[in-house]
Structures are given as structure tokens and as C-alpha cells.
């Protein structure tokens, strides 16, 4: 077990005027389980990175003190396990088993003890592949389970979890929550950041966006005293209903049709269509090929079999010129950082319109305001929080005004306020005649917004799925 102490802690990323987090005074005792809450951008992920000793001195400015059992976090790393928002950033080996074993090997665990521990922790998190599975072949949710296994295998005294179930299907999320709960077997101190699936914890700590700690105490007491204000400011508070944003009219013209489209080893044959004026949700378990389908529908991946047609064009989308594609179809990747190519948020938004010969200033100003990114216009996209990066990726797709928008996990990392605003934004696009295809594990998103659902089967070798109308 570890004791965590922060005294007036703050951090400002290099090149940023605003502090990511500031004035945090906090003491977490041995063996406590603490849920860290706050609106998107309040500094939750920054606090976890600091506790993990992952904020290099040359990458920003620090103030105050932070200690783990009296040590600087950079000297306590061997006792800390962390799961990042993006699991790809911590997968370092080509083979799944080797990746989980990596931490044990670094700590000098005897080889005879490593592989039984690796097998046990993979089973614990519900990782359904063997030790030889290439990490590059895993879906985002499968990578998240593998990364969690790597964080748990060394039985850390301090466990830091940044949205551990965000990319998981409901069944996988339940497995991971159970695995985290059973980390108490090692009496670990746990600090979790989680937006939606609020776990069983001893304390809730709410960060104030402008600096400091808003609330700190038992969950029931914090939500009873601060729940209304927190919900209004965007924090997910249990028991608050979400708006319903169903279409008020029938779907319009056919925009894209996939006929028995498949991608070898990644997507089983599937047939579906997306129309103007509707939201099609693509659901299914991790590893079913949902992200592959999104890339294929978006013209960014060529199918290995089947037929793809869109916008009345005889050529499949992957054969269109870049300018044709960006004006017709906008894509939002599962990992937002994979689509960032500039060093400023405003430049990222301007890139698409400028490439098409348009004046980018009006659309940049509008999107910065609509998606609450104005204060980050000069920031480097790679320093944004997970929720901010997701909103930027959606904004970049909207910048060229495509008729069809294909989004992979659009609500990942959003606080309650920005979740509602994003749903309202997509509902507005639907009402204006745009089509939306959204890959998602977010059941509330499906219930609130989707007109039809295509549920992909469990494995890439199964039969194809078809879209079903959502009961209104």
C-alpha cells in the first residue's frame, strides 16, 4: 500500500498560458480507493501522470510538492501501476504475452514466476487470446484489457486508472471492473478517473477547473451536497436523466451502401446502408471489426471483398481523390491523435478548408466556439485531455462540411455537459440532412440518438450483421 500526498501541486504544459492543474492539496491514505472527478480538462489525467512520475521537467512547469510514501514519484515508479486513456501508448512489445511480462522482467522477477502470473492476470481481465497474439492485431478495447493486465501483473502498491472501461463493450467493462475490484487482494491504493461507470470507492475527490479541490468525501455525501452543481457543470452524477434526440422525420437519400464487404482477418462480410437524415449506430463486442468497418465506410481502407458504393459514384470511396473524399465523408478515428498533423488546434481546424481552397477563418471560429475549444486555439493538440482531443477530432471532420460523418467512439472522454452538446450537435446535423454513422459502446448514446443499430457479431469469422430500426 502507498500513501499519496499533494501540497499545492500544479502543472503547466510547455507553451501553454493556462495551468493544466493548480493548487491541489490532497492526502490519500494506504489502501484507499479514490475516484477523481471533474469536467473535461480539469486536470485529472495530469494528476495521474504526475503521480506516475511521467511529467518530465523539460516538458512543462511544476509547482508545489507531490510524494508517494515520502518519495518523489520518479523514484517510486516500481511501486506504481498505471493505465492510460490511450492504451497504445503503453504497449511496447509485439506479442501480447511478452507485453504483460515486460514489467515483471524489468523488476527482476524469476522467469519461473513470470508466466504463471501473466496467464492469471490475462484471465482476470477477460483477455480471450493466447500469449502469442500480436498486439498490433488487437482492437482498442482489447488493447485496453492487455494494458490493464500489464498494470496489474506486478501487484503495484499504487494503482492509477484513467478511464479503464471507456473503450470496452458492456460485458468487457464488467469484467474489467471486477478485475479492478479484486486488486484489493494486494491491498493496493487506487486512484481512478472515470466519467460514466462509477465504481465502488471510499472517497470522491472533485477537482476545481480553475484550481484546487472542489469536494472531497464519501460518495453519498459529495453527491448529496454538490450533485446539482456538479451535474450542471458537466460532471457525471448518478441518477440524472439524459435527453432524447430521436429524428422527427424519415431518412433521406442513400449515401453509402456496403454489400458483403469484408476485410481479411479484420471484418467478416457485412451488408448495410447509411442514409441522409439518420444516425446509424454500429455496436458489438471488442474485436468484432467495428473500427475496421468505420475506416472502410470512410474510404480510408480498401475492402478485400464485397462491393462499396457511395454518393452515386461507381468508384468505391477508397479510390476517390482526397478532395472528393473530404467533401463527401468526414472520419473521426478511435484514437484522435492519429489524425492530428499540425502543432496548433486552430491550424488543425483550418487544414481541411484551406486544402479545398476555402477561407478557413469563419469555420475555425465557429467550431472553436461550438466545441468549447476557443481557449485552446494556440495549444498543441497532443497536450489536450482525452475529452478535448475527442472534440477536436470531431471538429476537424466537420470543418469541410461533409454530407456523411463516420465517427469511432464519438463520446469517449466527455463530461456530461460536452456529451449532451455533442449529441445535440449530431442531432442538428441529422436534421440538416447529414448522415451519421457512429461506432460506439455507449448505450446511452444509442438510446438518445440512434435511429438504427447494426450489431456486429462477436468474432471476425461470424456471419454478417444487419441494421435494425431502433424502437421509438
Q: What is the pLDDT of residues 78-91, one digit of tens each?
A: 899 998 877 888 89
Name the residue with higher pLDDT: 448 or 173: 448
User: Distance between CA atoms of 32 and 34, rounded to whole angstroms?
Assistant: 6
User: Distance between CA atoms of 368 and 345, rounded to whole angstroms?
Assistant: 9
- When pLDDT is averaged across residues 24-45 and rounded to a whole number, the result is 89
User: Distance between CA atoms of 388 and 446, rounded to whole angstroms?
Assistant: 22
Which class is domain 4-232? alpha beta
Percent of the chain with pLDDT over 70: 95
Kindly list the domain boundaries of the chain, sorted by start residue: 4-232, 254-469
Percent of the chain with pLDDT over 90: 63
pLDDT digits over 194-217, tens only?
Answer: 877 677 889 999 998 888 999 999
pLDDT digits over 397-437, tens only?
Answer: 999 999 999 999 998 878 888 889 899 999 999 999 999 99
* pLDDT given for residue 75 in this prediction: 92
* pLDDT given for residue 137 in this prediction: 87
User: Distance between CA atoms of 320 and 317, rounded to whole angstroms?
Assistant: 5
Tell me the average pLDDT of the chain.
Answer: 89
Instruction: Copy the grid coordinates of residue 231.
Output: 451535474
- When pLDDT is averaged across residues 254-275 and rounded to a whole number, the result is 94
User: Distance between CA atoms of 359 and 225, rounded to whole angstroms?
Assistant: 49
Fold match between 4-232 and 254-469? Answer: yes
Full 3-state SS string of the chain: CCCEEEEEEEEEECCCCCCCEEEEEEEECCCCEEEEECCCCCCHHHHHHHHCCCCCHHHEEEEEEEEECCECHHHCHHHEEEECCCHHHHCCCCEHHHHHHHHHHHCCCCHHHHHHHHHHHHHHCCCCCCCCCEHHHCCHHHHHHHHHHHHHCCCCCEEEEECCCCCCCHHHHHHHHHHHHHHHHHCCEEEEECCCCCCCCCEEEEECCCCCEEEEECHHHHHHHHHHHHHHCCCCCCCCCCCCCCCCCCCCCEEEEEEEEEECCCEEEEEEEEECCCEEEEECCCCCCHHHHHHHHCCCCCCCEEEEEECCECCCHHHCCHHHHHHHEEEECCCHHHHCCCCCHHHHHHHHHHHCCCCCHHHHHHHHHHCCCHHHCCCCHHHCCHHHHHHHHHHHHHCCCCCEEEEECCCCCCCHHHHHHHHHHHHHHHHCCCEEEEECCCHHHHHHHCCEEEECCCCCCCCCCCEEECCC
* pLDDT given for residue 464 in this prediction: 46
Q: Which CATH architecture has domain 254-469?
A: 3-Layer(aba) Sandwich (3.40)
Q: State phi, psi for 462 to the nearest 5 degrees.
A: -85, 175
CA distance readout (Å), 208 to 17, 44, 234, 257: 18, 10, 12, 47
- When pLDDT is averaged across residues 62-66 and rounded to a whole number, the result is 95
Is pLDDT of 145 > 90?
Answer: no
Is pLDDT of 369 > 50?
Answer: yes
- When pLDDT is averaged across residues 111-118 and rounded to a whole number, the result is 93
Per-residue confidence at 363, pLDDT binned at 50, 70, 90? very high
* pLDDT given for residue 471 in this prediction: 53
Is pLDDT of 232 > 90?
Answer: no
* pLDDT given for residue 194 in this prediction: 83
8 Å CB contact between 121 and 100: yes
Is pLDDT of 48 > 60?
Answer: yes
Is pLDDT of 466 > 60?
Answer: no
8 Å CB contact between 337 and 305: no
Q: Which of 202, 209, 174, 153 is nearest to 22 (CA)?
A: 209
Is pLDDT of 462 > 50?
Answer: no
User: Distance between CA atoms of 33 and 259, rounded to whole angstroms?
Assistant: 49
8 Å CB contact between 404 and 280: no
CA distance readout (Å), 304 to 18, 136, 166, 175: 48, 19, 30, 34
User: Distance between CA atoms of 21 and 323, rounded to whole angstroms?
Assistant: 40
* pLDDT given for residue 222 in this prediction: 94
Sheet holding 21-28, edge to edge: 21-28, 4-13, 60-68
Q: Which of 394, 399, 406 is nearest to 299 (CA)?
A: 406
Instruction: Copy the grid coordinates of residue 408.
Output: 469511432
How many alpha carbons lie under 13 Å from residue 292 in its C-beta half-sphere? 24
* pLDDT given for residue 459 in this prediction: 59
CA distance readout (Å), 365 to 280, 350, 393: 29, 10, 15
Is pLDDT of 186 > 60?
Answer: no
* pLDDT given for residue 142 in this prediction: 85
User: Distance between CA atoms of 270 and 459, rounded to whole angstroms?
Assistant: 12
- Cell 467495428 locates to 290
* pLDDT given for residue 469 in this prediction: 64
Is pLDDT of 452 > 80?
Answer: yes
- When pLDDT is averaged across residues 95-122 and rounded to a whole number, the result is 93
- When pLDDT is averaged across residues 219-226 and rounded to a whole number, the result is 93
Amino acid at each position: 500500500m502507498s500513501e499519496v500526498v499533494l501540497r499545492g501541486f500544479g502543472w503547466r504544459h510547455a507553451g501553454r498560458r493556462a495551468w493544466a492543474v493548480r493548487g491541489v492539496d490532497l492526502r490519500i491514505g494506504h489502501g484507499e480507493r479514490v475516484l477523481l472527478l471533474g469536467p473535461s480538462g480539469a486536470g485529472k489525467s495530469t494528476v495521474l501522470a504526475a503521480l506516475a512520475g511521467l511529467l518530465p521537467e523539460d516538458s512543462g512547469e511544476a509547482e508545489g510538492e507531490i510524494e508517494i510514501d515520502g518519495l518523489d514519484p520518479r523514484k517510486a515508479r516500481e511501486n506504481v501501476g498505471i493505465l492510460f486513456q490511450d492504451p497504445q501508448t503503453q504497449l511496447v512489445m509485439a506479442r501480447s504475452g511478452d507485453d504483460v511480462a515486460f514489467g515483471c522482467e524489468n523488476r527482476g522477477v524469476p522467469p519461473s514466476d513470470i508466466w504463471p502470473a501473466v496467464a492469471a492476470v490475462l484471465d482476470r481481465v477477460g483477455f480471450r487470446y493466447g500469449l502469442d497474439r500480436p498486439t498490433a492485431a488487437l482492437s482498442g478495447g482489447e488493447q485496453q484489457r492487455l494494458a490493464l493486465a500489464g498494470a496489474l501483473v506486478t501487484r503495484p502498491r499504487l494503482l492509477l486508472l484513467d478511464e479503464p472501461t471507456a473503450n470496452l463493450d458492456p460485458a468487457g467493462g464488467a469484467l474489467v471492473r471486477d478485475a479492478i475490484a479484486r486488486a484489493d487482494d494486494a491491498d493496493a491504493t487506487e486512484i481512478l478517473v472515470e466519467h460514466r461507470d462509477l465504481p465502488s470507492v471510499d472517497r470522491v475527490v472533485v477537482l476545481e477547473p480553475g484550481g484546487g479541490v472542489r469536494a472531497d468525501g464519501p460518495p453519498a455525501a459529495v453527491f448529496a451536497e454538490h450533485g446539482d452543481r456538479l451535474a450542471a457543470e458537466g460532471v457525471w452524477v448518478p441518477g440524472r436523466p439524459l435527453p432524447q434526440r430521436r429524428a422527427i422525420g424519415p431518412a433521406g437519400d442513400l449515401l453509402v451502401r456496403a454489400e458483403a464487404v469484408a476485410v481479411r482477418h479484420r471484418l467478416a462480410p457485412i451488408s448495410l446502408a447509411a442514409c441522409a437524415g439518420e444516425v446509424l449506430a454500429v455496436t458489438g463486442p471488442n474485436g468484432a471489426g467495428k473500427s475496421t468497418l468505420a475506416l472502410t465506410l470512410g474510404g480510408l481502407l480498401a475492402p478485400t471483398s464485397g462491393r462499396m458504393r457511395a454518393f452515386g459514384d461507381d468508384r468505391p470511396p477508397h479510390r476517390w481523390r482526397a478532395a472528393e473524399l473530404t467533401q463527401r465523408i468526414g472520419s473521426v478515428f478511435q484514437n484522435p491523435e492519429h489524425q492530428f498533423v499540425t502543432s496548433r488546434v486552430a491550424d488543425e481546424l483550418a487544414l481541411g478548408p484551406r486544402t479545398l481552397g476555402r477561407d478557413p477563418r469563419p469555420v475555425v471560429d465557429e467550431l472553436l466556439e461550438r466545441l468549447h475549444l476557443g481557449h485552446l486555439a494556440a495549444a498543441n493538440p497532443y497536450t489536450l485531455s482525452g475529452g478535448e482531443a475527442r472534440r477536436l477530432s470531431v471538429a476537424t471532420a466537420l470543418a469541410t462540411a461533409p454530407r456523411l460523418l463516420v465517427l469511432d467512439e464519438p463520446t469517449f472522454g466527455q463530461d456530461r455537459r460536452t456529451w449532451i452538446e455533442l449529441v445535440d450537435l449530431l442531432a442538428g446535423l441529422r436534421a440538416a440532412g447529414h448522415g451519421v454513422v457512429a461506432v460506439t459502446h455507449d448505450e446511452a448514446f444509442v438510446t438518445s440518438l440512434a435511429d438504427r443499430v447494426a450489431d456486429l457479431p462477436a468474432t471476425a469469422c461470424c456471419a454478417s450483421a444487419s441494421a435494425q430500426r431502433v424502437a421509438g
